[in-house]
Structure 1
């Protein structure tokens, strides 16, 4: 297996990253300072190297092929769920593609999930903006999830007796503003 990939030009990984992020040959070329034709040639070399079209035109932008969804499903997954749930919207979206993921662990916090992802070959999913500083500190890399997922809904809960408490009202406002600033 190693011998098969021994002569791969690692610069193609930079091009692939830009193509996946920009979903456009022109956008990816501009992102890494190549001409459009040079990026097209790089895409051709990527396709020949992996033996797969990787990106295909779906309307205007390039779209990751279903193979990307399959690779995502085939990867070992670390799940982060405060309630210990093993399934969720990701599983429903994968089921729409006829796929299932393999969850190897579920942890109660984003921090625990990110640390476990750092120390394994697993993938994890969490709010990118809310976890950005920890993601950077741990040296992790984020990629878009290759699925259409519903938006994450965040709510606060408190006992009704705290509804009119001035301190509690103030604290809820601070929390609301802070979270809004982080996820905006």
Structure 2
């Protein structure tokens, strides 16, 4: 078997970033014909056309989209291996890191994260912003350094992601609610009055899907878009809120929480960042801080 030409990785990385033979050729200081030959070799090597013409432009094939993040990471890792190791003096680092998170993350993990970072880098500041949508523009543009969320089909394939923790849904009611200290069955839970949490404004969620398998449907009185709002309403009324356990620990203080009497799939919360920050030593340190604080 012929050994692959690893020089093609860099060419493929640039082609997938630019989506244009001419722009990739200019960036790599090659002629368009030389870049076209390189693309032909890549197509032969991968067994996929990679970039195909659509009108006056080129579009990536599904295989190319699948390879893009992996190839970019391989190229960055190769550059990291071949350059001298840098040193980062955390005591002299002056920087503000912006984190975009759902309500509850800052309240639960912020104190530990601030303490950890202040102990190592006293001149670093954290800015927490609310996560109002799934757009990756802020990460791409650099106005946000890191965000947390659930990776799914809508997550931009160009982003890096690393799992932080798994979470499960629990039921939450005010301290003197009729459910407090009592056994709650699935039927009794469904018959109660509920506040439904949906970030996307949907009228059903994973809890409703789980109830449907039992032939049950909960009585939803109101819908909200944040954990804090759902819990505030449950704290002041007879409504039942169903929220992720770890994400809302501090927000649930003084309330009664109970295990849901039916199985709901756990969720995996990850941190996400743009690949251009992979090699930034300060950003690597930030990621390690978030990862370790969430792991506790």
TM-score of the two chains, using structure 2 as the length reference: 0.36
Alpha-carbon spacing, 1:118–1:167, altered in 2? closer, same or farther (3 Å): same
Match of 2:221 among 104, 107, 111: 104
Deviations 1:99-133 (A, max 9, x none): 11233333232222111111121111123333233
Output the aligned Cα RMSD: 2.3
Tell me what 1:118 maps to. 235
Q: Which runs of 4+ in 1 moved over 6 A?
A: none
User: Shift in Å at residue 96 of structure 1?
Assistant: 0.8
User: Shift in Å at residue 162 of structure 1?
Assistant: 1.9
Alpha-carbon spacing, 1:131–1:87, altered in 2? closer, same or farther (3 Å): same
Report whether the alignment pairs 1:180 with 2:295: yes
Alpha-carbon spacing, 1:98–1:132, altered in 2? closer, same or farther (3 Å): same
Q: Secondary structure at the match of 1:174?
A: helix
Q: Secondary structure at the match of 2:229?
A: helix
Tell me what 1:169 maps to. 284
Q: Secondary structure at the match of 2:196?
A: strand
Tell me what 2:265 maps to. 150
Contiguous gaps of at least 5 residues in structure 2: 1-177
Deviations 1:145-179 (A, max 9, x none): 11111112112222222222222222222222222
- Please identify which structure carries the higher helix content: 1
Alignment: residue pair count: 118
Alpha-carbon spacing, 1:102–1:166, altered in 2? closer, same or farther (3 Å): farther
Report whether the alignment pairs 1:133 with 2:232: no
- Please identify which structure carries the higher strand content: 2
Counterpart-to-counterpart distance in 2, 1:163 and 1:85: 35
Contiguous gaps of at least 5 residues in structure 1: 1-12, 21-63
Match of 2:181 among 10, 17, 25: 17
Q: Which has the higher contact order (CA 8 A, sep 6+)?
A: 2
Tell me what 1:81 maps to. 198
Counterpart-to-counterpart distance in 1, 2:280 and 2:197: 33
